[in-house]
Structure 1
Amino acid sequence: MKTILAVLVGIFLGSLVNMGIVTLGGELVHPPKGVDVTDMESLASSMHLFEPRHYLFPFLAHALGTLVGAFVAGKIAATGLYRPSLFIGGFFLLGGIASSVILPAPAWFITLDLVLAYIPMSWLGFWLSNKLTK
């Protein structure tokens, strides 16, 4: 039961961090003129207008959301259990894969995002949760 709670709380808090960073990023790095980021069709048809700076906050949102979720899951779950943290990474990785299919982002961003933002961050979150527990 504690493991299930750890996963649910990790997903919830990781998602909050993700959305917070995405929202903050939109305020700090404005999208190209005429792009409505709240409309998926507008976003998908305008992705070619985005510059590398526009991908910074989405990457940070994915990586830090996963890190926080995995950290929290690692703290709540029984000591030494890495599965809840890695489950968080897998869960968010599936979301990243879905996003990469829906939105035509550049290959360099998709590769960077899928390779570095999910499983490595979930492992780091687990490691930090255990390191800070001792």
Structure 2
Amino acid sequence: MLKFIRNLTAILLGIVVGAAVNMALVSISPMLIPPPAGVDVTDTESLSLGIDLFQPKDFIMPFLAHALGTLAGAWVAYLTAASHKSRFAYVIGVFFLCGGIAASYMIPAPTWFIALDLVVAYLPMAWLGILLARRLQPARTQW
């Protein structure tokens, strides 16, 4: 029962931490790379009308938000899970991938960005989170 609770906690914490990192980066994004004049990045209609004004640099922060959010969530899930640690980290990657797929239908973006985002920002980042988390865990001794 304790393993079940810890594994469930791993999923919940992974989602919360990943979403928090994502939203923090999205929130500071306009301060680091200002959007084109007249475009409100918090409004889907404004984005639709002004998407042609975006340059590749304007997609750096959304990509980093998706990638680093997934990385952090998978990392936390791996470190928190009691068993099947990699599976729980990949569950976080798949969760955020589903969110990315949904966002690609709702938020206008160039095809190249959508493809890059869906292919690189989710499952590879979950894998990287697993690798980083493994480095933190002490090696198990085999008897």
Q: Same fold (TM over 0.5)?
A: yes
Where do residues 66-77 of structure 1 align in structure 2 (5 Å cutoff)? 66-77=70-81
The total of aligned residue pairs comes to 134
Q: State the TM-score, normalizing by the size of structure 2.
A: 0.89
- Structure 1: which 5+ runs fail to align? none
Where do residues 86-105 of structure 1 align in structure 2 (5 Å cutoff)? 86-105=90-109
Give the drift of 1:61: 0.4
Whether the 8 Å CA contact 1:79–1:130 is kept in 2: the answer is no
Which residue identity is paired with 1:87?
V
Of the three residues 2, 7, 22, the one matched with 1:3 is: 7
Structure label with greater radius of gyration: 2
Of the three residues 54, 57, 64, the one matched with 2:58 is: 54
Percent of pairs with identical residues: 52
What is the rounded CA distance, in whole Å, between the counterparts of 2:116 and 2:46 in structure 1?
24
- Structure 2: which 5+ runs fail to align? 139-143
Q: Which runs of 4+ in 1 moved over 3 A?
A: none
What is the rounded CA distance, in whole Å, between the counterparts of 1:10 and 1:63 in structure 2?
14
Pairwise CA RMSD of aligned residues? Answer: 1.1
Which residue identity is paired with 1:11?
I
What is the rounded CA distance, in whole Å, between the counterparts of 2:47 and 2:108 in structure 1?
9
Q: State the TM-score, normalizing by the size of structure 1.
A: 0.95
